[in-house]
Amino acid sequence: MKKIIGLLFIVSVIIFSCKKDTPAPAAPVITYSAWSDCSNGVQTRTYTVSGGTATAPADSLSRACDYSSLKTGLWNMSADSVYIQELNTTYEIVHDTTVFGEIYAPCTWDDTYAFAGASNTSGTYTYADAGTVCSPDGSGTGTWAITNNSLIWDGQTTYPAVLKSFSSTKMVTWVSFTSTGTTGTVYHLTEKTTYTKL
């Protein structure tokens, strides 16, 4: 009997020692995309998972816009469009045209803005009548602030410039207001302005 027990013990040791260890499953790899351009005050990104399954933390997929790049380099107003809508039930668009060359004099097309400040959401700006100088020279300084996803120039909050999109090289603002025509018709106007970093 002792021989049989001893033999069983030896066989079990041999079987156990020959059995290969099962490798631990590879940890999943999460790869994030670049942050998107700012849209309506938020930046987003997506992720892919390889080698397994995982769920990324929700707070890593969206964040408040980072406006720090506004304070680097010089910005130039590179395009401007005006949209006019008649205030009726269908909000019919009655006019849609690029007016950059119609409203703004050519001497302003090469002018620049430089934003500064200790905060990434407020500070001062310098407007330079660069290149072809207008008469009189339009250079000057003022204040800027980003509040409720709008760019506020010189504290003027009646018609805020809503930041529709923002990146390190381009920002697009919309300014909206209403106007009453000579016949009493009320129109809703939106000015879409594009600023590009030089």
pTM of the predicted structure, to 2 decimals = 0.73
Reading the block at residue 89, the tokens are: 């039930």
Asked if the structure places residue 21 within a domain, the reply is no
Same domain, residue pair 110 and 172:
yes
SS3 94: strand
| Residue 37 domain boundaries | 29-65
Neighbours of 65 (CB within 10 A): 21
Least confident of 12-16, 68-72, 81-85, 143-147: 12-16
Asked if the structure places residue 170 within a domain, the reply is yes
Asked if the structure places residue 11 within a domain, the reply is no
SS3 58: helix
pLDDT score, position 61: 85
Asked if the structure places residue 8 within a domain, the reply is no
- pLDDT interval class at 85 (50, 70, 90): confident
Counting every residue written for the chain, the total comes to 198
Asked if the structure places residue 1 within a domain, the reply is no
Give the single-character DSSP code of 36.
P
Q: How far is the C-alpha of 37 from the C-alpha of 67, rounded, in Å?
A: 11
Strand (E) or helix (H) holding 7: helix 2-18
